A and B are shown apart, each in its own frame.
Chain A
Amino acid sequence: MTALADVVAFACLLAGALLCLTAGLGLVRFPDVLSRMHAGTKPQVLGVLLVMVGAAIRLDGWANAWMLLLVAAFQLLTAPVSAHLISRVAYRRRHVRRDLLLVDELGTPGHQDDAHRGDEPGDAPPEHPAVRPAG
């Protein structure tokens, strides 16, 4: 029984570590911020979940298992939030390779918002679209 549990735990750990390596590879190979963010968050969350499952199998006692479950829940909750924030800043600040986008639903005229781009710091001078040079 313990041998079987060890085999399952090491399989989970190996899969998780492989997904960590995949996240690093995607981070190096992909062309722009959005795809790098995609590589850095989505395989990463699954890798951390698998590693936590493997560690919870290897450790004895429910207290450690609950704490590892807490880490996994934090990862599931926080990864979408940070990825959304980074991709929003990247899109609004034009850090996107537009020639690589197949569909740009936010680029349609209904979504253009010149006055409120957001994400300016609180002490930034107000930025009026009429004063800005055309670009």
Chain B
Amino acid sequence: MTVVGAVLYALIGGGALLCLVRLVRGPSLLDRVVATDTLLVIISAGLAVHVALVRDPTLVPVLVVVSLLAFVGSVSVARYVGGMLLRSRTGDGRDLGLPVAAEVEEGRS
């Protein structure tokens, strides 16, 4: 029982850590939006695992709220980002990302 709980938390924590890695490293803003969306869904899965392990239904309404918030956040940020990003003029798929200010800090062109 406790072993299964530890394995479950380890798997979900590993997934959340990998999402955080992509959130930090992601070259463009859309990568970060995708990583944030996935991170919130993984957090709600972790809450559900906690609910199932301790058989405590208190957190179940929180799951509904978190799943809806993940959707609203990612959709609104994606709509907002659509007007900000520079178009690549080379056409080979290189990511130009944001206008200068945000990208200079990362050392990418």
* B107 CB, min distance to chain A CBs, angstroms: 19
A23 touches B42 (CB 8 A): yes
Question: 1/0 per residue B26-43: CB within 8 Å of A?
Answer: 001011011101100110
A119 touches B71 (CB 8 A): no
A99 touches B93 (CB 8 A): yes
B48 touches A52 (CB 8 A): yes
A14 touches B7 (CB 8 A): yes
Interface size for A (C-beta < 8 A) is 64
A64 touches B67 (CB 8 A): no
Q: List the A residue with the shortest CB-CB distance to B63.
A: A71
B78 touches A86 (CB 8 A): yes
Q: Which of A20, A54, A93 contacts B11 (CB 8 A)?
A: A20
A55 touches B52 (CB 8 A): yes
A24 touches B52 (CB 8 A): no
Q: Which of A72-122 contact B (CB under 8 A)?
A: 74-75, 78-79, 81-82, 85-86, 89-90, 92-100, 118-121
Residues of A within 8 A of B82 (CB): 89, 92-93, 118-121
Interface size for B (C-beta < 8 A) is 59
Q: A23-B15, A59-B52, A96-B93 are in contact. Are A67 and B63 (CB under 8 A)?
A: yes
Q: List the B residue with the shortest CB-CB distance to A9.
A: B52
Q: Which of B1-26 contact A (CB under 8 A)?
A: 4, 7-8, 11-12, 14-19, 21-22
Residues of B within 8 A of A63 (CB): 57
Q: A9-B52, A59-B57, A82-B74 are in contact. Are A71 and B15 (CB under 8 A)?
A: no
Q: Which of B7, B34, B88, B89 contacts A37 (CB 8 A)?
A: B34
A-B contact pairs, 21 of them (CB 8 A): A9-B52, A10-B4, A13-B4, A13-B49, A32-B93, A41-B37, A41-B38, A47-B45, A51-B45, A51-B49, A61-B57, A63-B57, A67-B63, A71-B64, A78-B70, A86-B37, A89-B30, A94-B91, A98-B92, A121-B80, A135-B91
> A-contacting residues of B (Cβ < 8 Å)?
4, 7-8, 11-12, 14-19, 21-22, 28, 30-31, 33-35, 37-38, 41-42, 44-45, 48-49, 51-53, 55, 57, 60-61, 63-64, 67-68, 70-71, 74-75, 78-89, 91-93, 95-96
